[in-house]
Structure 1
């Protein structure tokens, strides 16, 4: 995903669902201080949910379902208000609000060795053919 999106600080809503996106959720999305809804569902996103998203105080709707996300779901602030529907069909996720609890090994498990460092990962089929809605 292009990191430039993290600079769109007045953005209220972001919908990139159903775009067959490959890659990860950039931690820079945590800079979108005015974001009220984020829909990244039905893609092929990997890695963990960035902890920085917890700081999106205006976030009312979060849809990360139907991806390949892993690790513990961040907790605190707005993230404590989202239910199971925000995360379904991400077999590698654990923690509240899911019934699957994380053990200490799962929560700290590194990504597969085939992944590159976040700064160097530029998926070929990611946002190259961007179809989505910016609000």
Structure 2
């Protein structure tokens, strides 16, 4: 999984080793390693303001991280299988996730509550996207 910060200065990557790494785009050096997921990190996104990193994992969780200090702020639970995709709305208020449980879930980013669950898929949801107008 890979994402680029809104300012274009950092690359965020997720790995099979369960870590998220923050890289300096200019010189390629690793700046920070985020640990907390217990399985593969399959999805990463950065909030529009660049302050938080969102990650989804084979452990079934979505985690919200402070980009500046690398601390985990919140863990979102509700999916019953691997989280394969995450996206953030342009206003930064909602997180969208897709999972191996066949659901798409919409979360309130500020308080971590699940707002909506979209059902109907009979297999894995591997990608999610948000329109520019949210």
TM class, shorter-length = under 0.3
Bigger helix share: 1
Bigger strand share: 2
TM-score, normalised by the number of residues in structure 2:
0.26
TM-score, normalised by the number of residues in structure 1:
0.26
- Structure with higher RCO (Cα < 8 A, 6+ apart): 1
